[in-house]
């Protein structure tokens, strides 16, 4: 089996991590503080979208400073006891070869997904760990606000911005040269644009399309994308004819999409196929309840609720039909549905609202309801004012783009 290109071309030094110069500078400043003693903020909180370099930058930082690296991630059942035993011991003691003066870098990846309903002590253990640590600690998260505010207050927060298409395309071009592949720049731009800032996904896509080739043309990328889209279209075609819960559920499970994305595709297409208004009403009711369960799963970190959402969006929708079907041309979800439903966009919306709320001394709910619509108009029609507001609120590029395009 060939080596993963994500691992093969993983940055080994901080200077190799691209597109995050401000974040890397802040990380270095914090790490230098540990050389002088224990800084006021003993932990870093690296947050931002997936595939932006948070994890590789952390490993490179440990390598650059000669620190041992101790990692825990969401697959570790981080109960109170395990965090205390593993991370707690590592954070309060020295290293084996450097003695008490040596440092360990303790990394808790997916810190915004520490526990479900059975691991209530996880965050309490992390808070105690950060208060007692004699070693540097890094928390890595996609959504910083999913982490309790007491923990955020102990951390030095650094945002890893979503990478631009040009930055991602340049990395893909470098990999192609290393693999002796002659790549059409337009093809690489298409891959870079499709992944929406996720470099890891872009490299995986490139390897899937280009591995074993000597040339990569735009037609190869188009065929790859068409094959991926065909899978969701095939599922949609079969879903409306499902005769039972199990059949509908297995169709959804065979689909390689996150629950939010799958729901958006179903919402966009299936109800339009139902000729009877009563059938459509029942389908939309199932979709609405599926969306409710997905929302609860995110807020409570209770991902066991996904199975209820999955059954509602598959069997609940398919078995809503009693009347005839009509032909419709399947289409991807509209941007409005993605903005209203996908987790990543909700996180961007909530992140922007919380920044506004903190500056305006109000609640996030009020900021979402009363401020965001006006900011949308400003960001859409007044670039100078938008630039000043973005700088004042320290908005990320993703948050700025959301305010420009929100509905």
CATH number at residue 211: 1.10.8
Q: What is the dihedral angle through the alpha carbons of 279, 280, 282, 284, rounded to the nearest 10 degrees?
A: 160
Can you give the CATH number for the domain in which 98 is found?
3.40.50.300
Length of the chain: 407
Same domain, 324 and 179: no
Domain finish residue from 160, 180, 206? 160
In a domain, 338, yes or no: no
Residue 224 forms part of a structural domain: no
Tokens of 58: 């952390």
**Tens of pLDDT along 203-258?**
988 888 887 889 988 888 876 665 565 567 778 888 888 888 888 887 787 665 66
The answer, yes or no, to whether residue 116 has pLDDT greater than 60, is no
Maximum CA pair distance of the chain? 75
pLDDT of residue 98: 46
Q: Could you give the angle at which helices 372-381 and 383-393 cross, rounded to 10 degrees? A: 130
Asked whether residue 275 falls in the same domain as residue 398, the answer is no
pLDDT tens-digit series, residues 278-311: 998 999 999 988 888 887 776 665 656 777 888 8
Judgement on whether residues 61 and 139 belong to the same structural domain of the protein: yes
pLDDT of 38 strictly over 80: yes
Residue 337 lies in a domain: no
Residues 40 and 155 in one domain: yes
Structural domains of the chain, count: 4
Q: What is the distance between the alpha carbons of residues 343 and 179, in angstroms, rounded to a whole number?
A: 35
Q: Are 56 and 140 in contact (CB under 8 A)?
A: no
| Residue 251 sits in the same domain as residue 318 | yes
Matching residue, tokens 């599926």: 290
Asked whether residue 221 is assigned to any structural domain, the reply reads no
Could you say which of 282, 302, 331 is where a domain stops?
Answer: 331
Quote the pLDDT of residue 298. 64
336 inside domain: no
Do residues 186 and 242 both lie within one domain? no
Same domain, 193 and 320: no
**Has residue 16 been placed in a domain?**
yes
Residue 11 sits in the same domain as residue 148:
yes
| 393 inside domain | yes
Task: Give CA separation, 291 vs 143, 144, 182, 271, 380, in Å.
Answer: 20, 23, 44, 15, 29
d(CA 262, CA 267): 9
- Least confident among 57-71, 123-137, 280-294, 322-336: 322-336
Same domain, 259 and 395: no
pLDDT of amino acid 255: 66
The residue from 331, 359, 394 where one domain ends is: 331
My answer on whether 25 and 135 are in the same domain is yes
The domain in which residue 400 lies consists of 344-405
Could you give the CA distance from residue 399 to residue 48 in angstroms, rounded to a whole number? 11
pLDDT band at 77 (very low <50, low <70, confident <90, very high): low
286-291 own/partner pairs: CB under 8 Å, 24+ apart: 286/312, 286/313, 286/316, 286/317, 286/320, 287/263, 287/312, 287/313, 287/316, 287/317, 289/316, 290/263, 290/316, 291/263, 291/341
Q: Are residues 203 and 242 in the same domain?
A: no
Q: What percent of the chain clears pLDDT 70, i.e. is strictly above it?
A: 81
Question: Is 223 inside a domain boundary?
Answer: no
Dist CA 280 CA 285 (whole Å)? 8
**Given a cut of 80, is residue 112 above it in pLDDT?**
no
Specify whether 117 is located in the same domain as 17: yes
Rounded to whole angstroms, the Cα distance separating 145 from 355 reads 11
pLDDT at 179: 92
Q: How many CB atoms lie within 10 A of CB 188?
A: 25
């Amino acid at each position: 089996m060939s080596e993963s290109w994500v691992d093969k071309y993983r940055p080994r030094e901080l200077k190799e991590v691209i597109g995050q110069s401000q974040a890397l500078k802040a990380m270095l400043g914090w790490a230098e503080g540990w050389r002088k003693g224990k800084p006021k903020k003993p932990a870093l909180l690296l947050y931002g979208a997936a595939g932006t370099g948070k994890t590789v930058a952390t490993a490179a930082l440990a390598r650059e400073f000669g620190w041992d690296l101790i990692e825990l991630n969401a697959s570790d059942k981080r109960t109170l006891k395990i965090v205390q035993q593993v991370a707690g011991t590592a954070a309060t003691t020295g290293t084996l070869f450097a003695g008490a003066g040596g440092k360990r870098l303790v990394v808790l990846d997916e810190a915004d997904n520490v526990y479900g309903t059975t691991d209530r002590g996880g965050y309490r253990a992390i808070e105690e760990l950060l208060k007692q640590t004699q070693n540097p600690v890094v928390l890595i998260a996609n959504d910083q606000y999913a982490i309790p505010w007491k923990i955020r207050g102990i951390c030095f927060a650094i945002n890893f911005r979503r990478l631009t298409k040009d930055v991602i395309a340049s990395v893909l071009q470098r990999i192609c040269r290393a693999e002796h592949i002659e790549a059409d720049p337009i093809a690489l731009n298409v891959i870079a644009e499709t992944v929406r800032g996720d470099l890891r996904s872009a490299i995986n896509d490139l390897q899937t399309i280009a591995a074993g080739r000597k040339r990569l043309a735009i037609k190869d990328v188009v065929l790859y994308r068409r094959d991926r889209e065909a899978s969701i279209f095939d599922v949609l075609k079969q879903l409306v004819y499902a005769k039972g819960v199990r059949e509908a559920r297995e169709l959804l499970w065979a689909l390689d999409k996150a629950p939010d994305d799958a729901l958006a595709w179903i919402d966009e297409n299936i109800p339009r196929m139902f000729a009877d208004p009563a059938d459509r009403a029942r389908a939309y009711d199932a979709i609405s309840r599926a969306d409710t369960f997905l929302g609860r799963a995110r807020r409570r970190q209770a991902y066991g609720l996904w199975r209820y959402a999955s059954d509602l969006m598959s069997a609940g929708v398919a078995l809503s039909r009693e009347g005839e079907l009509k032909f419709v041309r399947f289409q991807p979800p509209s941007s409005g549905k993605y903005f209203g439903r996908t987790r990543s966009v909700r996180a961007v919306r909530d992140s922007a609202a919380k920044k506004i709320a903190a500056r305006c001394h109000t609640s996030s709910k009020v900021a979402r309801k009363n401020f965001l619509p006006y900011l949308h108009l400003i960001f859409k029609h007044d670039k100078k004012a938008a630039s000043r507001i973005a700088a004042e609120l320290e908005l990320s590029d993703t948050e700025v783009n959301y305010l420009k395009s929100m509905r």
